[in-house]
Structure 1
Amino acid sequence: MDKKISVVMLTKNSSVYLEQVLNALKLFDEVIILDNGSSDNTVEIAQTYKNVRVHEHEFIGFGPMKQLAVSFARNDWILSIDSDEVLEEELIDEITSLPLNENNVYAIKRDNYYAGRLIRCCGWENDYVRRLFNREKVQFDSKQVHESLILNGIEVQKLRYPMKHYSFNNAEELISKMQHYSTLYAQENQKKKKSSTFKAFSRALFSFIKNYIFQKGFLYGYEGLLISVSNANGVFYKYIKLLEKNRK
């Protein structure tokens, strides 16, 4: 590749897919892993790869954590991925052959899987994420959850090839993430946004109808129903938790 790229990644108990993820990244100059309290063998696996450097830090929110990981990189070009995202050979070839333009952010399409099944419903089917950027031009915002890159007028270019995203293996993982994200949302927006039981119920109902009907979750059997219900629960509980925090 013409320009060296540093890969950055957050981990916590990420051992299930980590070897697949890191095996796909051997061509990159360095991989920065920022771990926040893994109790499995995530760190041990990461340390067996020559191009991987592991740092550890307590969890301070997704936006701040990702920006901290970027700060550890040697290179200005950053590829930010999750510990359950596997880059395929075609995508790596595309990335490494790009004439990287610092005025562009490059977006990658994710093929999202639930328990090994490719899901193309509930908003999972056209999932482009902005992941490749020059850190001199672009940074992560400070949001606790649903963080994003601050573009400041930078153009977004979509890449052709997707990556595999092994989102969830079971309902327990879906529920756990919903609980974590809804709590972070409530903490971040306490006294900043208003909430009510009506808002929680109405927005959750709209979320379910959108996912299950308009985004065709009904075509995917129990997986489509489960994802639609889980998304609606996440919406409901983030507003209920916010309501409770605002009352304190």
Structure 2
Amino acid sequence: MPSLPLTLVVITRNEAAKIARCLDSVPFAAEKLVVDSGSTDDTVAIAQAHGARVIHQDWLGFGPQRNFATTQGRNDWMLALDADEYLSPELAEEMQQELPALMAGDLAAASLRRHTLYMGQPMRWYRPAMGEKMARLYHRNRARWSDARVHESLRFDGRSITFKAPFLHDNNPSLVEKQLKVLLYSELKCRDWLDKNKPVRMWQTPFVFALAFLKDYVFRLGFLDGWRGYTIAQTAASYAAYKRMRYYEMRRNPASRDSAAAALTRSGLDH
């Protein structure tokens, strides 16, 4: 497949089981760039074996890490994927056909539709797993990632389009990995709230839990995916409540911030 002046960017840490599939799904990228923040497994060696240029950068937070990675590419056009994501063959073909004309114009960014595999199988009804639009292709002089430590987003003002075929997300191989990610993401989100001096509103927590569960289980049609849909809704609601409880603790007991950071580091969950 002919290459295009595009840099595939993947930020990693200990993604040896997934990185090859991600890199191989974009055969038309002229450059594959992996920005690694200290893997202790075979991520770096596997990435290099699959054609990636690997550079090290200590963890900055998701938004800043992506912005750093953007500056390291050799092309102005960037495609950002996570290690547990990969293009479907249909999307790879669509992008190969459409990108030359799009990249020659004034496009700022493009969104891709993400389909999620959960507990080893595709979701069938849960709406966020059935084509969630995510801006992942962008011109680095026309777009920038937000500086959020977690739940970052691509910001741009120019014209954008959306590709039709999906890319795939092999979400959390087990609930264990999911719960570990909840701990990390909650800590990062609370740090952002501290920076902004967000007020503590613990009274909202029970209502936030209930509304988050209803949103995912009922309004986003999780109930149609059976017990997998229930699990997704319950996990999302627990995350929404836990990060508020953790923020309350951070404000009430500031010493817990350093204690938690040390515990995450000991467990290898600091990023």
TM-score (norm 1): 0.93
| Cross-structure match for 1:179 | 183
| Aligned with residue 127 of structure 1, among 123, 132, 144 | 132
Give CA deviations for 1:206-232 in whole Å, capped at 9, x if unaligned.
000111122222222221111111101
The one-letter amino acid of 2:203's match is F
**Partner in structure 1 of residue 169 of structure 2:** 165
Partner deviation per Cα, 1:139-158 (whole Å, 9 max, x = no partner): 1111101111121x223311
Q: Show the counterpart of 1:211.
A: 216
Find the aligned partners of 1:79 and 1:13 in 2 and give their Cα distance. 21
For residues 188-203 of structure 1, what are the structure 2 equivalents within 5 Å?
188-190=192-194, 192-203=197-208
CA distance 1:122–1:182, change in 2 (3 Å): farther
Number of residue pairs the alignment of both structures matches = 246
Contact 1:217 1:224 in 2 (8 A): yes
1:165 alignment partner AA:
H
3-state secondary structure, aligned to 1:212: helix
**Structure with greater proportional helix content:** 2
Q: Where does structure 1 lack aligned partners over 5 or more consecutive residues?
A: none
Matches within 5 A, 1:91-170: 91-98=91-98, 99-100=101-102, 101-119=105-123, 120-121=125-126, 123-151=128-156, 153-170=157-174
User: Normalised by the size of structure 2, how large is the TM-score?
Assistant: 0.86
Secondary structure class of the residue paired with 2:130: coil
Determine helix, strand or coil for the equivalent of 2:142: coil
Distance apart, 1:26 and its partner CA: 2.7
Q: Secondary structure of 1:111's partner? A: strand
Q: Structure 2: state its 5+ residue gaps.
A: 255-271
- For residues 155 and 204 of structure 1, the distance between their equivalents in structure 2, rounded to whole angstroms, comes to 37
Counterpart in the other structure of 1:38: 39
Contact 1:139 1:149 in 2 (8 A): yes
Instruction: Show the counterpart of 1:24.
Output: 25
2:88 aligns with: 88
2:216 maps to a residue whose letter is N
Structure 1 consecutive aligned stretches of length 4 or more whose deviation exceeds 6 Å? none
Once superposed, what is the RMSD of the aligned Cα atoms? 1.6
Q: How far apart, CA to CA, are the structure 1 residues paired with 2:70 and 2:233? A: 34
